[in-house]
Amino acid sequence: MDNPKKFNWKRKKTTSTHESKKTRTYAPLLSEEQKQSASIQDLSYDFACRITRLFQYLTEDSIYKEYIMSKQVFRSGTSIGANIREAQHAQSDADFLSKMQISLKECNETDYWLQLLHDNGYLNDVQFDSINTDRVRIHKLLNAIVSTTRRKIGK
């Protein structure tokens, strides 16, 4: 039976045809209420969807086409969830810890690229604050998971 807390990703459109390209905030698929009880897998997937739409905006929709930093934030931002997903099928506790540590490193790298995009005018304050709030939430959870796992396996 499906987990009742698991988010149904197919029930909501990701973009609006009425949405202005200039006012796009790369809104999350999960509501704030859903995020409170969401798993790290769901939060990181939601974040990866936002990063994907941000990449599309920066490379296609923006008047200032940006390809270098946007590619880096896309790579690191989507890698967070990919490594979390990999960790779910780890061969050992040490393998699980390694994958979660990689996710944490990717989350830190994503912070760097988002800051750089913001500080150079590619993201306004609203856009940056919105997406960075989600990144910080994931970062805190990853820190807790890594710390708990280290204690558990004695590393």
| Inter-residue contact 42 to 7 (CB < 8 Å) | yes
C-alpha gyration radius of the chain: 16
| Contacts with 61 (C-beta within 8 Å, 6 or more apart), sequence order | 21, 24
Is pTM beyond 0.85? Reply is no
Q: Which CATH superfamily is domain 38-153 in?
A: 23S rRNA-intervening sequence (1.20.1440.60)
In angstroms, the Cα distances linking 49 to 14, 45, 54, 155 are: 9, 6, 9, 33
Please tell me the predicted confidence (pLDDT) of residue 2: 42
Please tell me the predicted confidence (pLDDT) of residue 26: 63
User: What residues in the chain have per-residue pLDDT under 50?
Assistant: 1-23
Please tell me the predicted confidence (pLDDT) of residue 66: 87
